[in-house]
């Protein structure tokens, strides 16, 4: 393409080193979309003829068919997807193809193509995220009345509704949905017409191409338009937080599924066995969800490092934005391909969960709060229950086994018969009725709100 200026052929090693075809060929469809819009604008502005526009359209149509049939084998010597498509077009339609790059640089072209691609990919990710939210709601409804231990420091803390657990993860993913929308909005800006960096001497109509391509606005500054990649950062930042949330969910389920906890049941279809230990049923899928998270975070950091020292405007370093972005979309699509169905088939062994409460200590806060209702200051109540707990631990007693008299001995005169019904898992959960608490009513409220949110996306 640039032979005019050069008196030597490009060294083969340079061709191989600098080509981006093995990455950017996946952009072909979106690149053609951008080129067609550019061609239409050129024709409207009288920079090419209507006949030329027609042959550009026909040329690209047959190229698209060739790609679909898998017959278009791109050539690395032509460096990237843009040059491959342009040169094939020119091969097919001659002069009109050679006019297509009028007023355009690959710098604004690649920016346009990438943004179109990103917007489409985010639509797919959004669908997958919707499926995941739906799966969490489904489980929250199914397990609303199932009582399981809640943990802080991974130490048993208080009993919760398993529905509450699912909704906690739902909340995190619903914030990711907002992050996704933000990234989509950052990508929704059209750089076409920015040229190499400074715009064009030709009468281009940027607004027109931007509208044809469905962008909501133009990049306001041509230098920024070709130099900036923050929209990719926004995608990777959304993706990183999302991956972290998937990883935390995976980690919870791995722990609850472990032999020692054991109250979460994963379906056989989503587990794998061992080549040597016949008894094994391993949560490999969840481990891989957790394991791939690092790559996504790595790609975000990689992009920031690529950008931090770059002078204005386009530098070839920017070509490296693709590897991490594409790999991130691949990870997201793999994770979202499997995680919603896995979640939907998670069951809880309620009896096993109940057994893990056998010492009753998860109800110690309830006992202290009972004393508060009898007028005991909370710090004092905490102290009294603490000494009761200490005694139980030493004697190997469970809170569930104590008589009112035994309670009274440690808790004082304020202790009445009305304490015993409160030393009960079901009551403990139901009574946590503060907004956002684990009380069954509150969980239902959250689920309703969650359904509303799903209805809106």
* Residues annotated catalytic, as ranges: 153, 274
- State in angstroms the smallest separation of the CB of 316 from ligand ARG: 6
Interface with ligand ARG, residue 233, by CB under 6 A:
no
Which C-beta is closer to ligand ARG: that of 80 or that of 134? 80
| β-bridge mates for residue 159, sequence order | 149
Which C-beta is closer to ligand ARG: that of 143 or that of 322? 322
Contact between 21 and 77 under an 8 Å Cβ cutoff? The reply is no
What phi and psi, each to the nearest 5 degrees, are found at residue 10? Answer: -65, 135
| Interface residue with ligand ARG, options 55, 84, 237, 319 (CB under 6 A) | 319
Contact between 41 and 208 under an 8 Å Cβ cutoff? The reply is yes
Q: Which two tokens stand for residue 222?
A: 């041509």
**Triad 322, 295, 175: Cα angle to 5°:** 90
From residue 229, alpha-carbon distances to 120, 187, 301 in Å are 17, 9, 13
Which SS3 state, helix, strand or coil, does residue 214 take? Answer: coil
Stretch that binds ligand ARG, among 122-130, 281-289, 316-324, 433-441 (CB under 6 A): 316-324
Interface with ligand ARG, residue 314, by CB under 6 A:
yes
Is residue 412 left, alpha or beta, with left meaning phi > 0 and alpha meaning psi from -120 to 50? left
- State in angstroms the smallest separation of the CB of 278 from ligand ARG: 51
Helix 106-142 × helix 28-44 angle, to 10°: 130
Interface with ligand ARG, residue 25, by CB under 6 A:
no
Which C-beta is closer to ligand ARG: that of 18 or that of 61? 18
Instruction: Provide the 10 A C-beta neighbour count for residue 344.
Output: 16
Interface with ligand ARG, residue 226, by CB under 6 A:
no
Interface with ligand ARG, residue 107, by CB under 6 A:
yes
**Triad 269, 275, 280: Cα angle to 5°:** 55
Euclidean distance between CA atoms 108 and 119, whole angstroms: 17
Helix 321-344 × helix 230-257 angle, to 10°: 30
- State in angstroms the smallest separation of the CB of 262 from ligand ARG: 51
Stretch that binds ligand ARG, among 104-112, 144-152, 176-184, 301-309 (CB under 6 A): 104-112
Euclidean distance between CA atoms 41 and 48, whole angstroms: 9
Stretch that binds ligand ARG, among 42-50, 143-151, 156-164, 310-318 (CB under 6 A): 310-318
Which C-beta is closer to ligand ARG: that of 110 or that of 447? 110
User: Interface residues for ligand ARG in 377-416 (CB under 6 A)?
Assistant: none
Interface with ligand ARG, residue 106, by CB under 6 A:
yes
Is residue 199 left, alpha or beta, with left meaning phi > 0 and alpha meaning psi from -120 to 50? left
In whole angstroms, how large is the CA radius of gyration of the chain? 31
Stretch that binds ligand ARG, among 7-15, 311-319, 399-407, 442-450 (CB under 6 A): 311-319
Interface with ligand ARG, residue 101, by CB under 6 A:
no
Interface with ligand ARG, residue 264, by CB under 6 A:
no
Which C-beta is closer to ligand ARG: that of 18 or that of 216? 18
- State in angstroms the smallest separation of the CB of 57 from ligand ARG: 24
- State in angstroms the smallest separation of the CB of 86 from ligand ARG: 12
> Which residue is it, tokens 């004393």?
371
Instruction: Provide the 10 A C-beta neighbour count for residue 20.
Output: 19
Interface with ligand ARG, residue 20, by CB under 6 A:
yes
Please work out the total of residues on this chain that contact ligand ARG, with binding judged by CB under 6 A: 10
Interface with ligand ARG, residue 110, by CB under 6 A:
yes
Per-residue x/- track, 62-91, ligand ARG (CB under 6 A): ------------------x-----------
Contact between 246 and 239 under an 8 Å Cβ cutoff? The reply is no
DSSP summary character for residue 194? -
Stretch that binds ligand ARG, among 103-111, 181-189, 302-310, 408-416 (CB under 6 A): 103-111
Interface with ligand ARG, residue 302, by CB under 6 A:
no
| Interface residue with ligand ARG, options 56, 137, 318, 342 (CB under 6 A) | 318
DSSP summary character for residue 311? P
Using CB under 6 A as the criterion, which residues of the chain lie in contact with ligand ARG when the complex forms?
Answer: 20, 24, 80, 106-107, 110, 314, 316, 318-319
């Amino acid at each position: 393409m640039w032979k005019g200026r050069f008196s030597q052929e490009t060294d083969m090693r340079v061709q191989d080193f600098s080509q981006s075809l093995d990455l950017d060929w996946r952009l072909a469809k979106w690149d053609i979309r951008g080129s067609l819009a550019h061609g239409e604008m050129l024709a409207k502005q009288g920079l090419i003829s209507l006949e030329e526009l027609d042959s550009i359209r026909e040329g690209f149509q047959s190229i698209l068919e060739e790609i679909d049939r898998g017959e278009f084998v791109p050539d690395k010597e032509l460096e990237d997807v843009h040059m491959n498509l342009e040169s094939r077009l020119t091969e097919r339609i001659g002069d009109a193809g050679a006019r297509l790059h009028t007023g355009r640089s690959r710098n604004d072209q690649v920016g346009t193509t990438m943004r179109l691609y990103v917007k489409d990919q985010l639509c797919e990710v959004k669908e997958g995220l919707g499926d995941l939210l739906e799966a969490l709601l489904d489980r929250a409804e199914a397990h609303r009345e199932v009582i399981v231990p809640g943990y802080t420091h991974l130490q048993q803390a208080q009993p919760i509704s398993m529905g509450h657990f699912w909704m906690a993860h739902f909340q995190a993913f619903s914030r990711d949905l907002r992050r996704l929308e933000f990234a989509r909005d950052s990508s929704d800006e059209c750089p076409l017409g920015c040229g190499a960096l400074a715009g064009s001497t030709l009468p281009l109509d940027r607004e027109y191409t931007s509208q044809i391509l469905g962008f909501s606005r133009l990049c306001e500054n041509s230098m920024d338009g070709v130099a900036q990649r923050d929209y990719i950062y926004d995608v990777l930042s959304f993706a990183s937080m999302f991956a972290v949330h998937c990883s935390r969910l995976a980690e919870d389920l791995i722990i609850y599924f472990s032999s020692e906890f054991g109250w979460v049941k994963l379906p056989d279809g989503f587990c794998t066995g061992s080549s040597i230990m016949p008894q094994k049923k391993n949560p490999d899928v969840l481990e891989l969800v957790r394991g791939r998270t690092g790559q996504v975070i790595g790609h975000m950091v990689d992009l920031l490092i690529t950008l931090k020292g770059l002078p204005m405007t386009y530098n070839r370093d920017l070509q490296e934005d693709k590897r991490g972005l594409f790999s991130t979309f691949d990870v997201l699509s793999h994770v979202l391909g499997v995680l919603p169905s896995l979640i939907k088939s998670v069951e809880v062994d309620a009896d096993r969960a109940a057994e893990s409460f056998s010492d009753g200590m998860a109800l110690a806060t309830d006992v202290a709060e009972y004393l508060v209702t009898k007028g005991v200051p909370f710090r004092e109540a905490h102290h009294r229950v603490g000494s009761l707990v200490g005694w139980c631990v030493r004697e190997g007693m469970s809170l569930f086994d104590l008589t009112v008299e035994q309670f009274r001995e440690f808790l004082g005169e304020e202790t009445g018969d009305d304490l015993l019904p409160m030393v009960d898992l079901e009551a403990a959960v139901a009574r946590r009725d503060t907004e956002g608490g684990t009380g069954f009513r509150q969980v239902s409220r959250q689920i309703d709100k969650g359904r509303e949110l799903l209805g809106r996306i």
